[in-house]
Amino acid sequence: MKSHRFSITSVIAIFIVGLIIVAARSEGAGKRVQARAERKPSTEAAQASSAITLSAPVKVAPKATSSASAFSAFAAAITRNTELQNNLGWAFGGKSQRGWALYTPLIANLVGCDSDVAGELAMRVSAWQQGNGIESTGVLDGDTWSRMVTTFQSQRMKGQPAASEDQLVTIPVSDCYDPSRPEELRKADRDSFAAYKRMVAAAATDKSLGLALTADGQLTSGEKYFKIVSAFRSREYQDQLRRQSPNSGRAGLAVNSPHNTGRAFDLYVGGEPVSTKDENRALQTRTAAYRWLVKNAARFGFRPYFYEPWHWEYAGVGNDAETRRVGYAVR
Ligand SMILES: [Zn+2]
């Protein structure tokens, strides 16, 4: 009798999950159409199909499957998240910020969500909250967002020594976003640059990105995605940039920039290469190139800086336990 009851509970639970997915898909449909209009035609099909892929079984927090009231609880979370993604007030780098919509690809990756469907996101956020000792509501509110930002920031390189001359290599013009960039500004840490080349070679084989390639599989000179905008910057050069942009604020040009390690790369991911304007970052975080980096860069040892879609730091590979703990699963 007990097992019979258990199987009825299971059937009800599966039915509820089904309802959530159906509701989530119709919820996300309007958003997808809007986002698709701004994508490159060559990547549209791949993007559209990935948006509704639910390849992994949906894991729902136990609380969510325990009663019929769970569905209304998640429906409420979806509605609340739709508001908060554009309205949540928070501060970063001395600037007030609004919403977390810009960070949806990073959030989805962090919580192990394969799609940008609001329903699945709420469910995965709920599981992530549970794993992090936060009340498991599925609502990405201020407390949860603050915890996520802390997690993203804990990935940044800190206190690394500046690169010495013998660690640096010269980046070929063909790997640069601006082919006229002078040689003294085309330097990078040797190991980081080798990892970058491996990463771009992998991106080049991904046909869904629609990258323009030469006969031997390199990015053409006209292809700008994934090209290096900036890598090593000496302390002196960084100071000079800061003098040119005195109002960039703490979220802008750092005093102790990770770029002086030679292991930080600004890569072209669309729009204005390195503008923190919200509308520019919104455009960048919708590109196939950026979304590919979010999903794949960790395999090559690169970690994101959540606030700047173009900025990636080479942390190396090999510390898989740490990589998995914070959600940058090696896939
Ligand atoms: Zn940077």
Phi and psi at residue 314, in whole multiples of 5°?
A: -85, 115
pTM of the model: 0.74
* Res 254: pLDDT: 65
Q: What's the CA-to-centroid distance between 250 and ligand 1, angstroms?
A: 13
Instruction: At 95, list the tokens.
Output: 């600037």
**C-alpha of residue 31 to centroid of ligand 1, in Å:** 30
How many angstroms separate the CA atoms of 191 and 169, rounded?
Answer: 9
CB 60 within 8 A of CB 119: no
Are 284 and 294 a contacting pair, CB within 8 Å? no
CA of 271 to the centre of ligand 1 (A): 15
Task: Please give the distance, rounded to the nearest whole angstrom, from the Cα atom of residue 144 to the centre of ligand 1.
Answer: 26
Mean pLDDT per block of 10 residues along the chain (331 residues) reads: 51 49 42 35 34 39 46 82 97 94 96 85 95 96 97 90 94 97 96 97 97 96 97 86 70 73 97 97 97 97 97 82 38 28
Structural tokens at position 301: 């040892």
Compute the distance between CA of residue 112 and CA of residue 102 in angstroms, rounded to an integer: 17
pLDDT of residue 244: 80
| Domains along the chain with CATH numbers | 2-154 (no CATH), 165-325 (3.30.1380.10)
Are the C-beta atoms of 111 and 123 separated by less than 8 Å?
no
8 A C-beta contact, residue 178 and residue 171: no
* CA neighbours closer than 13 Å in the CB half-sphere of residue 110: 27
Q: How far is the CA of 156 from the centre of ligand 1 (A)?
A: 12
Question: Among 129, 127, 121, which Cα is nearest to 145's?
Answer: 129
Cα(106) to centroid(ligand 1), Å = 17
Q: What's the gap in Å between 311 CA and the centre of ligand 1? A: 4
